[in-house]
Amino acid sequence: MFGDLFEEDYSSVSNSQYGKGKKLKTKGLEPPAPREFTNLSGIRNQGGTCYLNSLLQTLHFTPEFREALFSLGPEELGSLEDKDKPDAKVRIIPLQLQRLFAQLLLLDQEAASTTDLTDSFGWTSEEEMRQHDVQELNRILFSALETSLVGTSGHDLINRLYHGTIVNQIVCKECTNISEKQEDFLDLTVAVKNVSGLEDALWNMYVEEEVFDCDNLYHCGTCDRLVKAAKSAKLRKLPPFLTISLLRFNFDFVKCERYKETSCYTFPLRINLKPFCEQSDLDDTEYTYDLFSVIIHKGGCYGGHYHVYIKDVDHLGNWQCQEEISDSDVNLEALQNEDETDDPLMILKSILLQFLQLHPQMFLLSTDESTVSLLRNHFTQAPSDLQRSHEQILHTLATEPPGLSDNNSCPHWFDINDSKVQPIREKAITQQFQGKESAYMLFYRKAKLERPSEARANPRYRVPCHLLKEMDAANIQLQMRRAECDSANNNFELHLHLGPHYRFFNGALHPAISQTESMWDLTFDKRKTLGDLRQSIFQLLEFWEGDMVLSVAKRVPAGLHVYHTLDGDELTLGEAEITDGEDIFVWNGVEVGGVQIQTGSDCEPLLLHILHLEMSGEGSKCEQLVESPHVFPANAEVGSVFTALAVPAGVILTNSVESADGECWTAIPKEDMKKTFREQGLRNGSLILVQDSDTDDNSSLPRQGRWTSGVDELNWLQVRNFCQLDSEEEQVQIPVTTHTVVFDIRIKAIKELKLMKELAENSCLRPIDRNGKLLCPVPDACTLEEAEVKMGSSLGLCLGKAPTSSQLFLFFALGTDIHPGAEMEIIVEETLSVKDCLKIMLEKSGQQGEMWHLRKMDWCYEAGEPLCEEDATLKELMICSGDTLLLTEGKLPPPGFLKVPIWWYQPARLSGHCESWDHANCASSQDSSWGATPTQGAPVPEPADVPLLYLGDVKISEEATLLELKSKAMALPSVSKLAVQSTALLRVWTVENKRLSRLLRTGWRQLKEYRLGRRAELCLELLQKEEDLGPQDVLLRTQLHIPGERAYTRPVDLVWDTTRGWTAGSLRQRVADFYSLPVEKIEIAKYFPEKFEWLPISSWNQQVAKRKKKKNQDTLQGGPYYLKDGDIIGVKNLLFDDDDDFSTIRDDIGKENQKQLALGKKKSREVLRAQSSDVFSSAEMDTRPRGPEASLSIHVASFR
């Protein structure tokens, strides 16, 4: 349907949060994680299969579908073991669906895999990375299942559960002959645009009639002439499960682009379809449906993500929201008082079964749930784990088991988002009525469908025996793998160095005997304490005299060095920050072999290579340069080199390899001789040259260079110079491997670009995306694999240091729309609060004041929800390096309150002339507040286009009524100048895209009932007299065309009663009566201001119906008019004006401006595309444009 509408763009460089300072461990050999507290399994995303996961979970939680599929045995479907045999007829798709459903029900893993299922679809890895439309998938998957089940007892499975029937009828008014056509449906597709909700959409489709009369007659086959007729549609046959697809994606023919309809669209939890059915004489239960699944789409037209809200009909999962989980007052007394639980033995059995299922790592439950055995490896738990298990037992016994205390007043809903499953409350569904994250598909089930009591909280119900055995065996394998993995993950390999076997000489510790006898390897559980480790070492040694001190040691080039002592016997090894492979020195804490030992990183021994002149032989005057290793403490003075060489004085030179022309020797000034080796920047392996003080030439300096480089793979990166410094080269290619450290790449790039060596201390590498944008800097300590930098990509060498592991690199910008080059950058601590981060960003952007807040830009590059918790840290709000924050003007109101910008509607004069409106009567003085800007960043409408004036902001509770809002608005200083007599003389509209949108009626309703949202804007309109609009009244603004001119008179309000229908004839009659004209002597048209177009309202329906050959209702609520409150209706008096043109001079100008704007945007895109192409052309990178729309297909073998 939409093809590659949701194709995701994968850049060559990942813009993930870099640099947490930890090397990622591969999880290829680790078993999948067990289920979380909900006891439900998610489905892993293969890259772009979130739409598939959402639909599969919906089918899985449709018990009737799941059990019907389970009822088909191997004798009908075949066996997966025979799928590769040439003559075997194996129906792979239903078999893989059975297996997937069994895994979701019984396999103890956090998320199941759909790889086998998509392989049975014939999908390639590229298909699995491409996202499609879930509505399209629903039809194609059901079609594939029907084809796969031909010739089996389940051949009618889809037809039995999901197919319904619609009947279209045309009734002749003369002979009452009925022309009837029946059509089947798998799902109902309903409009969203200009419709308030599902029930309104169904009313328009199956209640309203299309009337053929006047010049729009119907040819009756029985009468054999044109006659009056009525066309209608009804639901003839209702399926047990009703699927409804919402048309949220539309096409704007003016802008020639798709857009998503995000307006409010309500749908009930229970719906009665009786008014929409052909037969209505049955019991209401035959027409009543309950909502049980909502597939939600988050994002826009060209990118998005699906997840699903699902009602757990069989109560298979543990449903507890966070506030209930944290409630510690739950006890067993409530269980005893339940009316539904009569048998105490059944209660106890249910509690025990739930506990055993929650602890598969300890207990093995048999297939028939009659016996339980204890796993062998359950004793390997650490004491802390046993304590936690004991606490969990008590918590489980004190909690009601699922299925015993549940009642219909508290339905179990879950949010299933790929691998993650979270319980939600039923009221959370209302949050998906509108917005970028909103409902996309609805699934209803007949309310009379009841589940057997055996199925309640029983995931093994109706699962075939062969699948039960397979899942039980798989669970045993998982338990064994987890036990092995748990042992491997929690066991540390420690290297024990025994103090009595070591001696201290040449500045470090060395074994007194062989290395194997001095060091013992010990495997130890990291969950145990230091006291346990000490006790184990005592038992190993059998004899130890005096105190035993455990210290962390490390091997350095000079030998073994002791760093710090491990204190606190109650600490676990993990809490003491002991890592795998740690060296532990066992000693008395004072001396080794009679020598007192200095510990700590300050006195770490450094192995230096010293070059000095020595006589070549005894009595010879020939000198030669000799290199000898020496060990010095890092905190020793540099001058101690002379003492070690027995030289009274001299000159010390250090070597640097960072120069472009080889080695560079730098003399250490005499005043720096008192500095330590570490302060002087010397490290292990540093080269030092010692000369006599009277030597003034450089004859003894070595000439050969020491720079070496090696490449074990033929890969490269391109580094471009963004340092704004003159360089002979703009970019260089650096040979790298996935294990190359970023620091080495940066230093080599600086050398090859021939830049200043000072950049080594103040530069960083930043990936470049396909649009030429610089992304978050890559930490120096990471390898390319850890930083997720792809081979062949481009990096920019930029000024400034990369953020540390505790810092965040953020982009930020002003306003709600980001333009290229408008972003600013900042590095902050991840523990910084939102309030402090806002202050820093305001200071850097040159803004002042406190009327600002932050919004996080979502992945669709649009302004997301505001960061409301000002005292929360960026880390707590999951702000990551590379995120973009928006500085938006306006102070956020407290929770439960709205901050609403209020506008004033100023009626225009003659419409169509190129003139500016006169606001002198409203805002003449300069000190008036009319010119103020909305604090929430609302755009100020252009006076020549929309007559709106800004009054100010109103802070009000969502519990307040519309009448109270009017009263608060009247208290604004700007309104006091208008002399409004009463709130009854004020009409309230919502404002969208600088225009009046929705009329708010009934002043006693609370604001939250209007579902305004946090970004709502309202407009006040002054009335000449009070009005009382009924629910069927439509308020229109009519304008009479001036004969001989391309202009209209001022708009006049007209109230149209639509009780008799939204027909064109009814509206024409109302307009004719209003202007006292014959109905046949007027022409009317609706004005579309965003397109500058007029659409005549006349006999259009019959032609449209004949051309499209489908049902159309004669209703102005639907397309192409979508008539609503506030629409402008142009009226022509044909007695004086017989011209067909409704347009004005302003319309011509507006269309031309739109055309020029579209051309400008097209040229800008072409320029940006050309610039992006230039950036990457030299790197020969494959710039991947958005691919053509590809249809979704599932390959099915023939079984006929």
What is the identity of the amino acid at 992? E
If you ran DSSP here, which 8-state letter would residue 447 be given? T
Instruction: Give the E-state strand segments of 113-205 in sequence order.
Output: 164-172, 178-185, 188-191
**Angle 769-773-777 (CA atoms, 0-180°, nearest 5)?**
80
Instruction: Give the E-state strand segments of 328-398 in sequence order.
Output: 363-365, 372-374
Tokens in use for 100?
Answer: 């997937």
Spatial neighbors of 363 by CB under 8 A, at least 6 apart, are 356, 372, 373, 374, 375
Phi, psi of 127 (to 5 degrees): -65, -35
Among 1011, 1012, 900, residue whose Cα is nearest residue 955: 900
Rounded distance, CA 61 to CA 59, Å? Answer: 5
If you ran DSSP here, which 8-state letter would residue 708 be given? -
Tokens in use for 667?
Answer: 């003399």
* Whole-number Cα distances in Å, 627 to 384, 614, 639, 666, 702: 56, 10, 18, 18, 11
Tokens in use for 256?
Answer: 């020639």
Instruction: Tally Cβ neighbours within 10 Å of residue 492.
Output: 20
Rounded distance, CA 98 to CA 60, Å? Answer: 10
Rounded distance, CA 857 to CA 860, Å? Answer: 8
Q: Are the C-beta atoms of residues 505 and 594 closer than 8 Å to each other?
A: no
Rounded distance, CA 111 to CA 125, Å? Answer: 20
Provide the CA 1053 distance to its chain's centre, in angstroms.
46
Instruction: Tally Cβ neighbours within 10 Å of residue 361.
Output: 19
Among 841, 895, 850, residue whose Cα is nearest residue 868: 895
- Looking up tokens 């759909």 gives 114
Expressed in angstroms, the distance from the first to the final Cα of the chain is 28
Rounded distance, CA 589 to CA 565, Å? Answer: 8
Map residue 759 onto helix, strand or coil: helix
Q: Are the C-beta atoms of residues 1092 and 1154 closer than 8 Å to each other?
A: yes
Q: Are the C-beta atoms of residues 285 and 428 closer than 8 Å to each other?
A: no
Examine the residue annotation and report whether 495 is marked as an active-site residue of this protein: no
Map residue 66 onto helix, strand or coil: helix
Examine the residue annotation and report whether 485 is marked as an active-site residue of this protein: no
Q: Are the C-beta atoms of residues 551 and 560 closer than 8 Å to each other?
A: no
Which residues make beta-bridge pairs with 957? 897
Among 190, 288, 268, 275, residue whose Cα is nearest residue 232: 275
* Whole-number Cα distances in Å, 710 to 399, 645, 707, 1108, 1153: 63, 36, 10, 70, 61
Which residues make beta-bridge pairs with 172? 229
Tokens in use for 773?
Answer: 């944008």
Rounded distance, CA 638 to CA 602, Å? Answer: 15
Catalytic residue among 132, 305, 412, 561: 305
User: What b/e readout covers 86-97, taking b as 16+ CB neighbours within 10 angstroms?
Assistant: eeeebbbbbbbb
Phi, psi of 609 (to 5 degrees): -100, 115
Map residue 582 onto helix, strand or coil: coil
Rounded distance, CA 963 to CA 264, Å? Answer: 23
Residue 21 Rama label (left phi>0; alpha psi -120 to 50; beta): left
Q: Which residues are catalytic?
A: 50, 305
